[in-house]
A and B are shown apart, each in its own frame.
Chain A
Amino acid sequence: MNPRTLLRAVRRNFVLLAGLLTLVYLILPNVVVMVFSFNKPNGRFNYEWQRFSTDAWADPCGVADMCGSLSLSLQIAGWATLGATLLGTMIAFALVRYRFRARPAVNSLIFLPMAMPEVVMGASLLTLFLNVGAPLGFWTILIAHIMFCLSFVVTAVKARVMSMDPRLEQAAQDLYAGPFQTFVRVTLPIAAPGIAAGALLAFALSFDDFIITNFNAGSTVTFPMYVWGSAQRGTPVQINVIGTAMFVIAVLLVVSGMLIGNRRGRRSA
């Protein structure tokens, strides 16, 4: 191919090429994490390729404290998801379904945590905890996580509830469903995808948070904090194993979620 036809082809497919380039940029670190989970490093750090090995996959908990921090992070993420989803869903329903005076104030209070740099939130929570003398650890981490996940849940649920047809609930009541029955049989199932999206987001945010946790954890070590420490002490290959497993599980979950969603959509259509 001579240079001019090549140039023309590039120009014609510019968007495609640029988009694919960005996609490669996004996926590249995940590929590296995956490849290096099969590495057998020579020293404490797993940054250079030495030779192929499945040792780390055979013994994922083979490094001290790592799986402990992982299970702590899972616990915190679970409770934070539960708390933030419950509180956030309630707020979202109040904001969409009712007109009341304080609405603008509530809306900005919800928006602010999403627009605030995490260092600022982490640091200010630490000042509060230091001032009231709260012992740093599991509970302070959980409090912080529910706080920053809350707004994201509200936003996700709000979007779904807003697009809901209120006549469906009226119809239920016309058919003599009580308020509770209407809520459980009609409102909740319709709002469920929004609530699920909010919960998923909360789980991901909480599980992955490092910046705010770093301020409020004291000597407690969550998984992101373990990874952070290992960047100084030495990075075990097992970290890459966990990273790869998380990626694969997430992709499987999202794909199956989409497939189920598609089938439901087709059935109701």
Chain B
Amino acid sequence: MTVTEVPPAPPAAEADPPADAPRRRGRLVPYWLLLPGILWLVFFFALPMIYQASTSVQTGSLEDGFKVSWHFATYWDAFSDYWPQFLRSIGYAAVATLLCLLLGYPLAYLIAFRAGRWRNAVLILVIAPFFTSFLIRTLAWKTILADSGPVVGALNTLHILDVTSTLGITSGDRVLATPLAVVCGLTYNFLPFMILPLYTSLERIDGRLLEAAGDLYARPATTFRRVTFPLSMPGVVSGTLLTFIPATGDYVNADLLGSTDTRMIGNVIQTQFLRVLDYPTAAALSFILMAAILVAVTVYLRKAGTEDLV
């Protein structure tokens, strides 16, 4: 946002808000303020990434120790072994993100334009579930989607399970341990991350623009398509990113609600790191995941046409 205001022309500097700051003595103040926090991030965020990069090109074993040998083949081996899990992660995350958008938009719209004096109450209901541990809430989905539960029963009577089983989303009479359950859990867990940015950007829209569209004989659907939705794009973009990125790396939903057939790349990284103890492969997998997300996000931002994110 502020990147473009940087050129140090004297008048611009004077127009800055902290014009009152003591000039000479205060030169170093921002750096002293930044130092502890930035050092923390450098030591415990950036440095670990470098360690991981070096681990990913090491060979060896836990007994004999690992050595940097620039063994880039680990990347290729990791990818060829686990590409189904990569594809699945991206696929599940994409579907969950889309569902979040479809489910979250009406609610965000409702809060921003229709809720009136109920606005704060509804907002609390959106945020409050956050405070029950998300693992406990994810476990609750086991009860909701249980084999003898109401959801499976209803889907069965409506013969929806036959259709979804043919599509491979569910298997037999079960919802638990199928892709449907995992996507349902992912959608649920990341929904607030979609609703809040959407709400923020919808709330900023000037209601008079919508009235003007109506005055110009736009039907409600047209107003939405031509005015409301384009103006809410910043919220759509940040909401989809806030949903998609963590959903791709998640392994909790796939583990608690899925089966071995629904393992995502997060499950693989976790197993390789904490159980198999094959650190080079695990490190290579995390870097491939980062690269995949980076590519996906860049392409998406190009398409969505918004570059100023932060």
Residues of A near any B CB (own CB < 8 A) = 14-16, 18-23, 25-30, 32-33, 36, 47-48, 87-88, 90-91, 93-94, 97-100, 102-104, 106-113, 115-121, 123-128, 130-131, 143-144, 146-147, 150, 154, 166, 169-170, 173, 204, 207-208, 210-211, 214-215, 223-224, 227-228, 231, 235, 239-240, 242-244, 246-247, 249-251, 254-255, 258
Q: With an 8 A cutoff between CB atoms, is B86 at the interface?
A: no
Jot down 12 A-B pairs with beta carbons below 8 A, ordered by A. Answer: A19-B114, A29-B132, A29-B141, A87-B36, A90-B33, A98-B21, A119-B266, A123-B283, A126-B273, A128-B47, A128-B48, A150-B41
> Which of these binds chain A: B77-85, B105-113, B206-214?
B105-113
* Given contact pairs A109-B38, A112-B45, A147-B44, a sample of 4 additional A-B residue pairs in the complex whose CB atoms are under 8 Å apart: A21-B103, A113-B45, A121-B48, A127-B55
Does the CB pair A29–B140 fall under 8 Å? yes
Q: How far is the CB of A255 from chain B (nearest CB, A)?
A: 7
Instruction: Report B-chain residues with C-beta under 8 Å of the C-beta of A239.
Output: 136, 139
What 9 pairs across the A-B complex have the smallest Cβ distances?
Answer: A117-B249, A250-B131, A19-B110, A18-B106, A87-B37, A98-B30, A124-B48, A94-B33, A29-B140
Instruction: Report B-chain residues with C-beta under 8 Å of the C-beta of A19.
Output: 106-107, 109-111, 114
What residue of chain B has the Cβ atom nearest to residue A207's Cβ? Answer: B133
Does the CB pair B129–A91 fall under 8 Å? no
Number of interface residues of B (CB under 8 A): 92
Instruction: Report A-chain residues with C-beta under 8 Å of the C-beta of B40.
Output: 87, 146-147, 150
Instruction: Report A-chain residues with C-beta under 8 Å of the C-beta of B286.
Output: 119-120, 123-124
A210 touches which one: B16, B110, B127, B135 (CB < 8 A)?
Answer: B135
What residue of chain A has the Cβ atom nearest to residue B29's Cβ? Answer: A98
Does the CB pair B31–A119 fall under 8 Å? no
B129 touches which one: A29, A48, A106 (CB < 8 A)?
Answer: A29
Rounded to whole angstroms, the CA-CA distance of A109 and B192 in the bound complex is 25
What residue of chain A has the Cβ atom nearest to residue B283's Cβ? Answer: A127
Instruction: Report A-chain residues with C-beta under 8 Å of the C-beta of B237.
Output: none
Q: How far is the CB of A92 from chain B (nearest CB, A)?
A: 9
How would you classify the secondary structure of chain A's contact residues: helix, strand, loop or mixed? Answer: helix
Instruction: Report A-chain residues with C-beta under 8 Å of the C-beta of B122.
Output: 23
| B240-295 at interface with A (beta carbon < 8 Å) | 241, 245-246, 248-252, 256, 266, 269-270, 273-274, 279, 282-283, 286, 289-290, 293
Does the CB pair A247–B129 fall under 8 Å? yes
Does the CB pair A210–B48 fall under 8 Å? no
Does the CB pair A97–B17 fall under 8 Å? yes
Scoring B residues 31 to 68 as 1 if CB is less than 8 Å from chain A, else 0, what string do you get?
10110111011101111110110010000000000000
Q: With an 8 A cutoff between CB atoms, is B169 at the interface?
A: no
Q: With an 8 A cutoff between CB atoms, is B144 at the interface?
A: yes
Does the CB pair A26–B129 fall under 8 Å? yes
Does the CB pair B128–A147 fall under 8 Å? no
What residue of chain B has the Cβ atom nearest to residue A250's Cβ? Answer: B131
Does the CB pair A127–B30 fall under 8 Å? no
Q: With an 8 A cutoff between CB atoms, is B143 at the interface?
A: yes
Contact of A215 with B139 at beta-carbon distance under 8 Å, contacts A23-B125, A204-B130 already known:
no
Does the CB pair B13–A99 fall under 8 Å? yes
Rounded to whole angstroms, the CA-CA distance of A82 and B110 in the bound complex is 36
Q: With an 8 A cutoff between CB atoms, is B134 at the interface?
A: yes
Rounded to whole angstroms, the CA-CA distance of A177 and B250 in the bound complex is 51
Q: How far is the CB of B301 from chain A (nearest CB, A)?
A: 12
Q: With an 8 A cutoff between CB atoms, is B104 at the interface?
A: yes
Does the CB pair A16–B30 fall under 8 Å? no
Does the CB pair A29–B246 fall under 8 Å? no
Rounded to whole angstroms, the CA-CA distance of A113 and B290 in the bound complex is 12
Does the CB pair B45–A224 fall under 8 Å? no
Rounded to whole angstroms, the CA-CA distance of A29 and B38 in the bound complex is 39
Instruction: Report B-chain residues with C-beta under 8 Å of the C-beta of A91.
Output: 33-34, 37-38
Rounded to whole angstroms, the CA-CA distance of A115 and B34 in the bound complex is 21
Q: With an 8 A cutoff between CB atoms, is B156 at the interface?
A: no
Contact of A16 with B114 at beta-carbon distance under 8 Å, contacts A125-B44, A170-B20, A231-B139 already known:
yes
Does the CB pair A144–B44 fall under 8 Å? yes
Q: With an 8 A cutoff between CB atoms, is B137 at the interface?
A: yes
Rounded to whole angstroms, the CA-CA distance of A131 and B139 in the bound complex is 35
Does the CB pair B45–A251 fall under 8 Å? no
A127 touches which one: B20, B33, B48 (CB < 8 A)?
Answer: B48
Instruction: Report A-chain residues with C-beta under 8 Å of the C-beta of B273.
Output: 123, 126, 215
Does the CB pair B34–A94 fall under 8 Å? yes
Q: How far is the CB of A29 from chain B (nearest CB, A)?
A: 4
Q: How far is the CB of A265 from chain B (nearest CB, A)?
A: 12
Q: With an 8 A cutoff between CB atoms, is B157 at the interface?
A: no
